[in-house]
Structure 1
Amino acid sequence: MESAEPQDRGKSPDGALVVGVVAARTGRLAGLGDPLDFAASYLRPRLARLVNGGRTHPVRLVSRDSRSTADGGRQAVRELVADEGARIVVTLAGTQVLPAVADACEEARVPCVSSTFPWQVYYYGRGASDTTPFRYTYHFCWGLDAIADTFADLWELAAGPGRTVGCLWNDGPQGTWSRDEKRGFAPTARARGHHLVDPPAYTEPATELSGHVEAFAAAGADLVTSAATGRDLALFRATAAEHGATPRLITCSRWLAYPPSTTGTGGRPAQANVATLVYWTPTLPHRSSLDGTTAAQLAEAYEQATGRQWLQPLGLAHALFEVAVHALRTADDPTDPAAVAEAVGRTRLDTVAGPLDWTAGPVPNVATVPLAGGQWQPGRHHDYELAVLTAPHADGPPVSADLLVNR
């Protein structure tokens, strides 16, 4: 695909290098937009200018609301490119929204960096292949295979090897790609010796999950894995309780990065004691490439500014801006989107979210983030806190608690 010339694009009114930010601020995903919105506000005064090749350029961070919809995300990209002259766009979160934003950037020939979405769904789900990558859109995250390995560690911690596991998967991208026999969650879990019970998929938002509860009971599955929303997870737990079934352990990837908020049975959050992924915590030893801010300092700044509990996506949201600024600093021409995209593709950078390396794969356009296993448990400083239960990586967060299971 040929790159558009800079003069053919919208230009920043003040000549600044504009970093466009697409974040949900209204609609059902508004809470998911909080980390990126905070990171933009936190960094805006710190990123007034940058130096590329000895020349100083003014910088502006400009945000647009995706309105929690794919159409809203596409419109946000159009506005950022045409009206603001964005040279690079950053975004995270939203199963439908994130791919729409990335696709809109690819079509507009403006680089985009995104995160918090399994890389196989991002890459293959948007139509790329091992030999035909994207030119303008880049991503960093974990993969479905890494989720499966992390959850298998937790299943084995809870009940030993070779378990029967019920799959609470929807008919959307998360569920469909989890089932994929080549690149999904399922083949990795089976390779670890676990048997998966996968009833017919449900449609979000779920209205009836008794079929799943019954199928799991019939198969003797006392472990359940899912990528459900908090609402659907609460429905599943309530339905299981009505059937007299209490899974020994539930593992869930989606939405569980955020502190428990959705109320389930008995007044408990749906996420209470659910095991999940750990990809960023204040205990990580990483620092920002921009100013040396530590993970702990970033979490503290968020809590002081918002009065709310720190969020896992906060570290990745901050790292998005680190990557964008690094690309603008190192591009052959920071005003040329094609050159900025090429700079992202050769980026190797230590960030507050850890080291990111687009030269290492696993496929073009993607850098990976390591995972540990965790669980939302009653805490000392907050009602529920994310405890770290497994530590498969040397530079990951330290184990902080034992796994809680239902007996």
Structure 2
Amino acid sequence: MNTTSSRLTIGVVAPLTGRLAPLGRPLTYVLEALAPQLRHVRNGSRCYDVSAVVRDSRSDPAAARRAVHDLTTTDRAHIVLTMAGTQVLPAVADTCEELGVPCLSTTFPWQAYVHSRGAGPGHSFQWTYHFAWGLDDIATVFTHMWEQAGAGHTVGCLWNDDLQGSLLRHEQYGFAPVTSARGHTLVDLGPYREPATDFRQQVGRMKEYGADIVTSAATAADLALFHQQARQAGGRPRLITCSRWLTYPHTHTTSVPGIHAELADARVATLVYWSPGHPYRSSLDGATCADLAHAYQQDTGESWLQPLGLAHALVETAHRALSTADDPTDREAVARAIKGTTFSTIAGTLDWKQGPTPNVALLRLSGGQWHPGPEGPRLAVVTNAGTPEVPVTGELLLT
């Protein structure tokens, strides 16, 4: 589909309101901060004016689909960017695929990105592209941290009854192939519905099997409840590794003080996909990761979040696609430009030509742990086995 114009439009679907709103702030911040670099795009001998249009997903899949329709038909976007939301993100990607507009997304394991859209590994989408990590990459990082507590653990798996849980349990794509190969035994503590009200059954199974480590993808509130009930039952695990919501400071995902105190006591370990210590630079303005994190904290008064670097890389990739496409006013040409892209960003090198599956570029992971600090939770990098260029900034603490 050709959208002939001398002006190019970058459409953005972001959670400005609703439960995901705290996780949408990094993307809107980056758009404002990079506005001077985004006003124009030079493609060959031509210079195009660029505008960025943001529409609210309202943290809801139906609203996200409407936002894509508006961006495509009213705003005539040449590319759509989005991030955050296990239901919202696939809704945006699917709608872009249906309407024939290039879409770029992140912050979602690639297996979940593919399966949530009714496809499987090896499937090739025409319009939609993603960069992130895999569930197997999370498992690898977590095992490195488990092994700092010794070899050959029995690990209790606290996974929900939704898509995320079913994929983590998957015998081919989930945790088992990685962890069993490294000598660990996984014990499923039993599925649960979010939000959870009682984990006594799961705590009982953890104690029955002698699991001294627990791994999860729970929300902050659910993980705090589990830890509280395990502690009260005298079965507090030595280490909890948790992905998904706990990659963010728990102070950002809930306002309940009791949850903050419980998770601070748990010292949750998680994956690290971006931090101020990562040694990468922006392809747009040369800013370092430390520069970006510092500017965010100065401008917003809030602590940096991991999605900040990925939001910046989203914008970098959109800019590069528009500047390298054979015809940036043609959506099909923009999609082809993403497909052939390999370049360095503030989140690391993105390579859609060598991804683990079509339409996906892989990000490498470090392992981190939330340590209490005077200004709230501090994410320390405690293992860099897969990212030797990222400095270790703390020791893994066991309870």
Change (3 A) 1:266 1:43: closer
1:342 is paired with a residue whose SS is: helix
The answer to whether the Cα contact below 8 Å between 2:11 and 2:77 also exists between their aligned partners in 1 is yes
Question: Which amino acid in 2 is paired with 1:384?
Answer: P
Which structure 1 segments of 5+ residues have no match?
none
Aligned to 1:400: 393
Instruction: Encode CA deviations 1:60-85: one digit per residue, 9 max, x unaligned.
Output: 11101110111111111111111101
- 1:333 corresponds in structure 2 to 327
8 Å CA contact retained: 2:221, 2:259: no
User: Where does 1:80-99 land on structure 2 (aligned, <5 Å)?
Assistant: 80-99=71-90
> Residue 226 of structure 2: which of 236, 239, 243 is its match?
236
Q: Following the alignment from structure 1 to structure 2, what is the Cα–Cα distance between the partners of residues 206 and 90?
A: 32
**What CA deviation, in whole Å up to 9, does each residue of 1:149-175 have, x standing for no partner?**
1001111112x1111011110011211
| Deviations, residues 75-119 of structure 1 (Å, cap 9, x unaligned) | 111111111011101111111111111111111111111111001
Equivalent residue runs for 1:321-400 within 5 Å = 321-379=315-373, 382-400=375-393
Residues 282-330 of structure 1: CA distance to partner in whole angstroms, max 9, x if unpaired?
Answer: 1111000111111111111100110000111100000000001100111
Deviation at 1:205, TM superposition (A): 0.8
- Unaligned ranges ≥5, structure 2: none
Distance in 2, matches of 1:121 and 1:232, equals 21
Q: Check conservation: 1:237, 1:264, Cα contact below 8 A.
A: no
Structure 2 residue identity aligned to 1:123: V
Say which is worse superposed, 189-198 or 369-378, in terms of deviation.
Answer: 189-198
Change (3 A) 1:170 1:278: same
Is 1:61–2:52 an aligned residue pair? yes
Distance 1:384-1:267 versus aligned 2 partners, 3 A rule: closer
Q: Which one has more relative contact order, counting CA pairs under 8 Å at least 6 apart?
A: 2
Cα distance, 1:142 vs structure 2: 0.8
> Which moved further from structure 2: 200-209 or 260-269?
260-269
The Cα shift of 1:43 comes to: 1.4
TM alignment of 1:19-168, pairs within 5 A: 19-158=10-149, 160-168=150-158
Cα separation, partners in 2 of 1:378 and 1:129, compared to 1, 3 Å = closer
Give the Cα separation in 2 of the matches to 1:239 and 1:34.
33
Comparing 23-32 and 385-394, the one that deviates more: 385-394
Percentage identity across paired residues of the two chains: 54
Q: Is the 8 A contact 1:49 1:59 kept in 2?
A: yes
- 8 Å CA contact 1:23, 1:63 repeated in 2: yes
Aligned to 1:193: 183
How far apart are residue 264 of structure 1 and its match? 6.5
Q: Distance in 2 between matches of 1:131 and 1:267?
A: 41
1:204 to 194, 210, 213: 194
RMSD after superposition: 1.6
Distance 2:160 2:388 in 1: 34
Q: Say which SS state the counterpart of residue 96 (structure 2) adopts.
A: helix
Q: Residue 293 of structure 2 corresponds to which residue in structure 1?
A: 299
Q: Could you report, residue by residue, the CA deviation over 1:4-62 in whole angstroms, capped at 9, with x for unpaired residues?
A: 3436xxx7xxx521111111111111111111111111112321001112100000111
Equivalences, count: 395
Q: Distance in 2 between matches of 1:65 and 1:267?
A: 28
* Cα offsets for 1:185-205 (capped at 9, x unmatched): 222122221111113311111
1:256 and 1:280 map into 2 onto residues whose CA distance is 14
Partner of 1:349, secondary structure, is strand
Normalization by structure 1: what TM-score?
Answer: 0.94
8 Å CA contact 1:287–1:294 kept in 2: the answer is yes
Work out the CA distance in 1 between the residues paired with 2:171 and 2:218.
20
Q: Tell me the amino acid that sits aligned with residue 161 of structure 2.
A: D
Q: Shift of the alpha carbon at 1:383? A: 2.2
**Greater mean deviation of Cα atoms: 34-43 or 107-116:** 34-43
Q: Aligned AA for 1:214?
A: G
Q: Is 230-239 or 264-273 further displaced after alignment?
A: 264-273
Aligned residue number for residue 256 of structure 1 = 246
Over 3 Å counting, the alpha-carbon distance change for 1:402 and 1:227 in structure 2 is same
Contact 1:315 1:353 in 2 (8 A): yes
- For 2:358 and 2:259, the matched residues in 1 are separated by 47
- 3-state SS of paired residue (1:21): strand
